Structure 1
Amino acid sequence: MHLSIQTRRDIVDVLHQRSLLATAEFYRLINRKLPVTILRLTVKPAGREFFHVVDSQTGKVLGFRRDHNEACALARRLETETRP
């Protein structure tokens, strides 16, 4: 991986962590529990052109798409269909 890409990823990761900490601090100040959102399905790149929709509990691929946005839409649709 190119050094500038890795540097950017590191910076984005740190900013994400700071955002999570700030959100947790906000909820602590207003005396409320931090909402927990656990998504069962995730979208992962597979090769150069495809994206897999993966069940995080089993690790099985439930579908794939060529476009990332379409893969995310599929994951959202499957997520709503599989909720009890």
Structure 2
Amino acid sequence: MHPSIQLGNEVRAALRIRSRIATKDLYEIIGRPAPMAQARFIVKPAGVAFFHVVDRRTGKARGFRRDHNEACALARRLEQQE
């Protein structure tokens, strides 16, 4: 990767971290609970009898199951691995 691209990625990662810290501090100051983080993997129906487990960041399917409960279990398992 080109050094300027790498530097830009590192700067953006640091800004994301600082943004999360500032948001957390703001909610502590105002005395309200911080919003819950959204799940990375979601289950979407795909056809008549299939459910896809989709990564929200990339929009790509990471797996599929015929049963909704099994698809949800796969999504939880993938969430724990990441």
1:76 and 2:76 matched: yes
Once the two structures are overlaid, the 10-residue window that deviates more, 32-41 or 70-79, is 32-41
CA distance in 2, matches of 1:32, 1:77: 30
**For residue 68 of structure 1, what is the amino acid of its counterpart?**
H
Deviation for aligned residue 1:35: 3.0
How far is the alpha carbon of 1:37 from its aligned partner? 1.9
**1:36 and 2:47 are equivalent in the alignment:** no
- In structure 2, the gaps of 5 or more residues are 1-29
Q: Is the radius of gyration larger for structure 1 or structure 2?
A: 2
Match of 1:8 in 2: none
| Runs of at least 4 residues off by over 6 Å | none
Name 1:53's counterpart in structure 2. Answer: 53
Normalising by structure 2, we get a TM-score of 0.60
Q: Which amino acid aligns with 2:55?
A: D
CA deviation map 1:39-61 (0-9, x unaligned): 11000000000000000110110
TM-score by length of 1: 0.58
Which sections of structure 1, spanning at least 5 residues, go unmatched?
A: 1-29
CA RMSD of aligned residues (A): 1.5
